Every structure is written in C-alpha cells, then in structure tokens.
Amino acid sequence: MSSSEESLSQPPVEQQAVALSALRPVYLALVREFVIDVPPAPVEELTAASAELMEQATTWFLQVDSQIQVHQLRQFLQSTQLADEAVLRHLLQHHIHKSIKSGSDRDKTDYLLVQYFSLCAPSQVEDADLDLDYVAQVLEPILGSQQPHFPSWLTPLEAIMNSAARCRRLSELLHSGTLEQGRTLKTQNAARYFEPAAMAAFARFGFMIRRIFFRLMHGDLNAITDGLRELERQGVATIDCRRAQFSAEEPISRLRMICQSWKVMFHAEYSSGQPLRMLVDLRAAVDDALHNTKRHAPLATGAGASRS
C-alpha cells in the first residue's frame, strides 16, 4: 500500500459510526427534498450499535447515495442550514473512504472539496497565494498531512487555469472549452483521482475556476446594468432580446429586474447551463442595442435640428 493510500485508509468503525450519525439528518433531508424511495432510515444513535446495525446503516446510506446526483447535492447544500464545516468534512470522508467509488462519488467529492476549501479558506486570500501547499494545508483535516506535489499527468491543469484567467467576459470562458478540458482530464484519469495530491490539485483548480467564473459573471451583469441605464438615458424603452430567448421588444425595466434576480441565482455554483447562456446572449443584445443607438445618433440629432 502506498503512503498516499495509507493516509486515506478506512477509519475505525467507531469513527464511521460517528460520521454516519452526524450525516443522518442531512440524508433524511435529502430523502424528503428529492422524494427518494428508500427503506426507513437506520437508528439515530450508531456509536454504540452492533455490527449488524452498522451494516444496515451503511447499506441505507449507499442506497441514498446511488439516487442522489451531484447537481441535487449542490442544490441542497446551497439552500440548507445544515452545511457547516463538520457536515462537509463528514460528507467528504464518507465518499472518499468508500471501498467502491463510482463516477458520481468522484463528482460529489470534487464539488465537496471546493465547497470545503471555500468555507475554510480566508475570503480575502489572493490568487497568487493559492499554491498547492496552501490548498493542501487547508484540506489536511480531509486528506491528511502530506508533502504536496503536482503529478505529471495533471500538468495541463495549470495551462487550463491560465487560459481561463485570460478571459475578459463570460462568453469567452464558456466558449473557450476550459471547463470541458478540466472535466475531461478528470474523467480520463478517474482511477487516479482519489490520490490525495490529485484531489488537492483539482480542489485548487476548481476553486480558481469558480473565482474566475464569478468575476466574469459579475462583470457581465454590471455591463448589462450599465448598458440598460445608458439606453434609458437615450430614451430607449425596449430592445430586441430574441437571441436571449426574450421578446423582440423587451422592456428595459423588466430586464433590470431579471438581472437583479440573476445576481441571486448565480450566487450558486458555476455551470454552463441554459441560464448562463441567456446571460451571455443578453449582454450581446444590450451591446447591439448600444451600438445601434450610437450609429443612429447623428441622424436623430440632425432630424431634431431640422424640426426646430
């Protein structure tokens, strides 16, 4: 057994019982939230349970796991008060220490590591300080003490992050393929993902990409808001937003309200789903409207002068 495998060896039964007891309210809430068809939950107190009851409890948790997808777990943890540091730590240890891990377990672990790091790392930490040593230190309660190194097969991660950092608007990030490149690297090396050094490297990558995403997303929302304000100043009341799946004469007042609601909705985890495409297309529509008003401004000025 390698040193990396030893650091993540199966914890004692007593620790497993404590973890499952702590996770029981979370899993019960997941079952209710997503109407999961599973047998009744195990007994509440597992720390003094027999081996038979522990086996039954473990089976129940695995049944719930098999029916919960990563996007559902993400949705739940972003809206519950249960997701504190201890719960995230127990969730991570629960998935990392499984004897048989699925692709879904890997995706959940990847998401949870970034969540845990985001919760535990100081919010003001600079990008330049987020090296692998720093990330490994924050994740030590999960991954154990290690001398972090960057596996050679993960070398492309740095180039992917640099490419993402050069993007100046959300459309560039979504069309650059960087998000897909990171996912591809992860799935192509699925057997090596659960090495501690790899998990630390992917947690750093995920956190940095999330930061870039939010920076670009807020930049787009601010640009749209500023553009709408300028259009109103010029007397424009509606714009053509069909490319963003709105109407050909969408009221600017309604678009401003939509942007405010998006600021709340996009506070969640980044993705490349339909709402983000709409945001990208809405910025393009506002940019087009601003360009058209500037192009027609001299004509409007001349017409006004001839009537005076």
Q: In this predicted model, what pLDDT tens digit does every residue of 247-288 receive, in sequence order? A: 999 999 999 999 888 877 765 555 556 678 889 999 999 999
Q: Residue range 292-305: average pLDDT?
A: 57
- Joined tokens for residue 36: 């999961």
pLDDT one-digit tens code per residue, 233-252? 999 999 999 999 999 999 99
pLDDT one-digit tens code per residue, 151-194? 889 999 999 999 999 999 999 998 888 889 999 999 999 889 99
- Joined tokens for residue 229: 């304000």
C-alpha of 72 from chain center? 12
Q: Which residues contact residue 173 at a Cβ distance below 8 angstroms, ignoring those fewer than 6 apart?
A: 164, 167, 179, 212, 213, 216
Local confidence band at 303 (pLDDT 50, 70, 90 cut-offs): very low
pLDDT one-digit tens code per residue, 26-77? 999 999 999 999 988 876 666 666 777 888 888 999 999 999 999 999 989 9
Mean pLDDT rounded to a whole number for the chain: 85
Residue 307 confidence (pLDDT): 39
Residue 116 confidence (pLDDT): 96
C-alpha of 240 from chain center? 31
Q: Residue range 86-99: average pLDDT?
A: 93
Q: Is the pTM of this model over 0.75?
A: yes
Residue 300 confidence (pLDDT): 42
Residue 298 confidence (pLDDT): 54
Residue whose C-alpha is closest to residue 144's, from 86, 203, 200:
200
240 with 268: CB under 8 angstroms? no
Residue 5 confidence (pLDDT): 43
